[in-house]
Amino acid sequence: VNNDNHHHSRTAPLDISSERFRALGHRLIDEIADFLGSLHTRPVTPAESPAQVRAAFDAARPLPEDGTDPQALLNRAASLLFDHSLFNGHPRFYGYITAGPAPIGILADLLAAAVNPNTGAWKLSPLATEIEAQTIRWLAQFIGYYPASCGGLLVSGGNMANLTGFLAARAAAHPAVRKQGVAGAPDSPRLCLYASPETHTWLHKAADLTGLGTDAIHWVPSLDLNELEARYRQDKSDGFQPFLVVGSAGTVSTGAVDPLPALAAFSKRHHLWFHVDGAYGAFAVAAPGTPEELKGLQLADSIAVDPHKWLYAPLEAGCALVRDPASLTAAFSYHPPYYNFSQDDIINYYDIGPQNSRGFRALKVWLALQHAGASGYRKMIQDDIALARRLYHLAAAHPQLEALTHNLSITTLRYVPADLRPTLGIQSTEDYLNDLNQHLLAAIEESGEAFISNAVLPGGKYALRACIVNFRTSAADIEALSHLIVRLGRQVDAGLRRQTAPALAAE
């Protein structure tokens, strides 16, 4: 018998007693609650330089040899993050397509990490795997996508969800590719696909990563059906094997919805895989009053949706859905001898996607879906869209703003000085407005009063772009944004005319 105490209890440098853990956790939760409560009073971003950010936490410090008290570490980490971050949960954050985290999702990530199930295999995560499966069914049900029979899995985000659909399409078109590689056999097909130039850059990455190369993407502007048919016939006679059509349910730049029902019909006619990138807009199909075309996503062979966008899940949570669950197995499955996970009537997620060990991303999505309910989500999405529309109308009514586009919850606009309005469309004016609005975007960020991003519209028009996937944003915030754009627009215009356009400064 070994009487050494180490035999029964070991003291590891990382361990924390449950009493101490409780104290650390309570204190951290208090700080987070204060932070969330004070979010609206903070700048959206401190807009610091890289040098300032690095100086704030001694970025050059070498790896510490000795440990540090966890209370001191957590205090410091929290205050560093609260003082030097951009807050996408701030009511005046409208940049890119990034949502603030649902509070229940914040707590869910903590709980998920505490139990730490490995959702790669059912046996390692019995309940968590079943919760993920239910989450997938609920997401599919929310968007009206074959709720009874579809398959899918959670991944890190939109890019991975789209890549997953792309790989399923490739394996369906050319099953031997998994063994032979893209050019592995003399008779390997020259695969090609169709998409609009407005497609998010995940598509370039997918074509590149899968070995097809970006030349395999045959761009068809605005996905016009006649052009598609002509291109398809040409490709066939040139010896290509078209295999995939990609449509966007809400483009990244302006939120435009591709003609999804027509794309579905075209794909069906030619036996092509139809993939819909719904990373931004798919969930809007559930909300009343959104474009009818969105319903075309229900005809897709695969869909990417992104709970960390319009379901307000904390990063990261994307989701790939497929009409036929077997298509994911066909694209990803291997059965190594070191895994003993086969069992009837269960899913092993390692077997149907690219990841092996996987975290419990589903918990935050599953809890948020129940917290708000489908009706709560429909309302939040509708409200976000109404706010974007309001911004568009405010811009349209203001003599110094030009309303450019409004689709789903994205509005684009620009600042146009009153004296330049009569010269809109003249190249020198357009060049100046592009320059002005680019400087204005930086000034808005610098101010910390709001954060927006930009879009470049057809013809090269530089637009300010606000995307509202933000359950904290109110009508007052939107009004403040339009005032801010006008106020800073005047300042930036005055400064810029003095510097770069003395001819225009005559005014």
Ligand X SMILES: Cc1ncc(COP(=O)(O)O)c(C=O)c1O
Residue type, 311: L
Task: Closer to ligand X by CB, 280 or 471: give it.
Answer: 280
Detail the DSSP E strand segments found in 111-235: 151-155, 190-195, 217-219
- Strand pairing category for 461-467 and 190-195: unpaired
* Residue environment code for 378-400, b if the CB has 16+ CB neighbours within 10 A, otherwise e: bebbbbbbebbbbbbebbeebeb
The region of 27-35, 59-67, 158-166, 414-422 touching ligand X under the rule CB under 6 A is 158-166
The region of 76-84, 151-159, 182-190, 258-266 touching ligand X under the rule CB under 6 A is 151-159
Find the shortest distance in angstroms from Cβ 252 to ligand X.
4
Ramachandran assignment for 469, one of left (phi > 0), alpha (psi -120 to 50 degrees), beta (any other): beta
Task: Closer to ligand X by CB, 166 or 415: give it.
Answer: 166
86 in helix, strand or coil? coil
- 281 vs 287: CA distance, rounded Å: 11
Find the shortest distance in angstroms from Cβ 310 to ligand X.
10
Pick from 95, 120, 158, 291 the residue near ligand X by CB under 6 A. 158
When asked if residue 372 is in the footprint of ligand X (CB under 6 A), the reply is no
Pick from 88, 119, 135, 159 the residue near ligand X by CB under 6 A. 159
428 to 447: interface string for ligand X, x by CB under 6 A: --------------------
Task: Closer to ligand X by CB, 172 or 279: give it.
Answer: 279
Q: Which two tokens stand for residue 268?
A: 């069906």
Find the shortest distance in angstroms from Cβ 88 to ligand X.
12
Residue from 446, 414, 409 nearest 287 by CA: 409
State the CB neighbour count (10 A cutoff) for residue 453. Answer: 19
Task: Closer to ligand X by CB, 112 or 246: give it.
Answer: 246
- 182 vs 175: CA distance, rounded Å: 11
Pick from 99, 154, 223, 252 the residue near ligand X by CB under 6 A. 252
Pick from 314, 318, 359, 417 the residue near ligand X by CB under 6 A. 318
- Which contacts (CB < 8 Å, 24+ apart) does range 211-220 have? 211/181, 211/182, 211/183, 212/170, 212/182, 216/190, 216/191, 216/192, 217/192, 217/193, 218/192, 218/193, 218/194, 218/242, 219/195, 220/194, 220/195, 220/196
When asked if residue 306 is in the footprint of ligand X (CB under 6 A), the reply is yes
Find the shortest distance in angstroms from Cβ 174 to ligand X.
24
- 32 vs 305: CA distance, rounded Å: 29
Find the shortest distance in angstroms from Cβ 388 to ligand X.
15
- 367 vs 363: CA distance, rounded Å: 6
- Maximum alpha-carbon separation in the chain: 96
Pick from 145, 194, 202, 366 the residue near ligand X by CB under 6 A. 202
Find the binding residues for ligand X in span 89-108 (CB under 6 A). Answer: 96-97
Pick from 102, 143, 220, 279 the residue near ligand X by CB under 6 A. 279
CB-based contact 441:398 (threshold 8 Å): no
Find the shortest distance in angstroms from Cβ 202 to ligand X.
5
Task: Closer to ligand X by CB, 200 or 439: give it.
Answer: 200
CB proximity list for 335: less than 8 A, separation 6 or greater: 342, 351
Pick from 92, 170, 200, 497 the residue near ligand X by CB under 6 A. 200
Task: Closer to ligand X by CB, 311 or 322: give it.
Answer: 311
Query: Partners of 277 in the beta sheet?
Result: 248, 304
Q: Please count the residues of this chain forming the interface with ligand X, following the rule CB under 6 A.
A: 15
When asked if residue 277 is in the footprint of ligand X (CB under 6 A), the reply is yes
Task: Closer to ligand X by CB, 275 or 439: give it.
Answer: 275
- Residue 47 DSSP class: -
- Strand pairing category for 217-219 and 190-195: parallel
Q: Which residue is nearest to ligand X (CB)?
A: 158
152 in helix, strand or coil? strand
Pick from 119, 248, 412, 453 the residue near ligand X by CB under 6 A. 248
Task: Closer to ligand X by CB, 280 or 283: give it.
Answer: 280
When asked if residue 247 is in the footprint of ligand X (CB under 6 A), the reply is no
When asked if residue 256 is in the footprint of ligand X (CB under 6 A), the reply is no
The region of 6-14, 152-160, 336-344, 475-483 touching ligand X under the rule CB under 6 A is 152-160
Q: Which residues bind ligand X (CB under 6 A)?
A: 96-97, 157-159, 162, 200, 202, 248, 252, 277, 279-280, 306, 318
